[in-house]
Amino acid sequence: MPELPEVETFKRFLDSTSLHRRITGVGVRDAYVLRGISARELARRLNGRRFENSIRHGKHLFVRAGDDPSSPRLRRASLWLRLHFGMTGSLEYLRHDEVPPKTARVIFRFADNCRLAFDDQRKFGEIELIESVDEFLRTRHLGPDALEISLAQFRATLGKRRGAVKAILLNQQLIAGIGNLYADEILFRARSHPAGESTSVSDKDLTRLFRAMRHVLGKAITLKTDYDRLPKSWLLTHRGKAGRCPRCGRALKSATIGGRTSWFCAYCQKRA
């Protein structure tokens, strides 16, 4: 499931392939993905515009669609295309006659005939047009992005909120961007037990958790979230049945915490 590092990787991909070119068509192959807009309306509102820049917040990607500067019509206000990648979403860039994947759900065509495809095998992705990113974040009550939150904010969030540490890391309204895999990885690196009570974690351990969060997310982005290149010392490459702790070699344990399956080492990760 795409989490903050995957969405950041999609953002960089989109920025390097799809900006500043006139949009000449939007093909919707499966309308489940559209939120509050019809396929026809999406195409009508985007045609003639250009993707100018993008912003990521948590697991959401917002792409600004500006007006065509050469258009003689009255200038229209910017729109934002919001992409959420659900469980299996991704972006593909297609040159000229390259064939889109079967599971491409929406295809944006540019003036040079290249295309950007929103691919989504399991159909949990979302696309919509919004006028203001700030307003969207406010109405969804999304917390600060996990790479933007300060240590002081992080400590205040975890220190005053009762519940399992992992459930708090997963709560998008408290900290946006972390999902199941990276939450386990962050807790493993910080040697914190996922079910530990958040308000009992010491300041020192909260600082360690904060540093682990920044390190894990940053490193995954640097490696473009290529699982084959992630360090062998990470839990991610060992999690699952018969998995062993890459630090101490003991068998990993699993438990349902915050509604999700957690993998951890009961020896290395002590409860607060």
- Nearest distance from residue 208's CB to Zn ion, in Å? 16
Cβ proximity to Zn ion: between 167 and 252 the closer is 252
Q: Which of 74, 99, 242, 248 binds Zn ion (CB under 5 A)?
A: 248
Question: Do 146 and 4 form a contact (C-beta atoms < 8 A)?
Answer: yes
Mapped onto helix, strand or coil, the DSSP state of residue 5 is helix
Active site (annotated) includes residue 8: no
Q: Which of 64, 123, 219, 247 binds Zn ion (CB under 5 A)?
A: 247
Q: Which of 19, 130, 268, 272 binds Zn ion (CB under 5 A)?
A: 268
266 binds Zn ion per the rule CB under 5 A: no
Tokens 């020896």 appear where? 267
254 binds Zn ion per the rule CB under 5 A: no
Cβ proximity to Zn ion: between 74 and 248 the closer is 248
45 binds Zn ion per the rule CB under 5 A: no
Active site (annotated) includes residue 260: yes
**Catalytic residue of the set 59, 82, 109, 239:** 59
- Nearest distance from residue 198's CB to Zn ion, in Å? 22
For residues 126 and 60, give the distance between their C-alpha atoms in angstroms, rounded to a whole number.
Answer: 10
Q: Helices 203-222 and 180-190 meet at what angle, rounded to 10?
A: 130
Give residues with Cβ within 8 angstroms of 18, minimum separation 6. 51, 93, 108, 110, 116
Q: How many CA atoms are closer than 13 Å to the CA of 218, on its beta-carbon side?
A: 8
DSSP codes joined into one string, 112-166: TS-EEEEEETTS--EEEEES-HHHHHHHTT---BTTT--HHHHHHHHHH--SBHH
- Nearest distance from residue 193's CB to Zn ion, in Å? 12
For residues 223 and 33, give the distance between their C-alpha atoms in angstroms, rounded to a whole number.
Answer: 29
Q: Which of 245, 257, 258, 264 binds Zn ion (CB under 5 A)?
A: 245
- Nearest distance from residue 165's CB to Zn ion, in Å? 18
Cβ proximity to Zn ion: between 133 and 255 the closer is 255
Cβ proximity to Zn ion: between 11 and 193 the closer is 193
253 binds Zn ion per the rule CB under 5 A: no
Q: Counting Cβ atoms within 10 Å, is residue 259 exposed (0-12), middle (13-18) or buried (19+)?
A: exposed
Cβ proximity to Zn ion: between 93 and 267 the closer is 267
Active site (annotated) includes residue 2: yes
In the complex, the residues that contact Zn ion under the rule CB under 5 A are: 245, 247-248, 265, 267-268
| Catalytic annotation, residues | 2-3, 59, 260
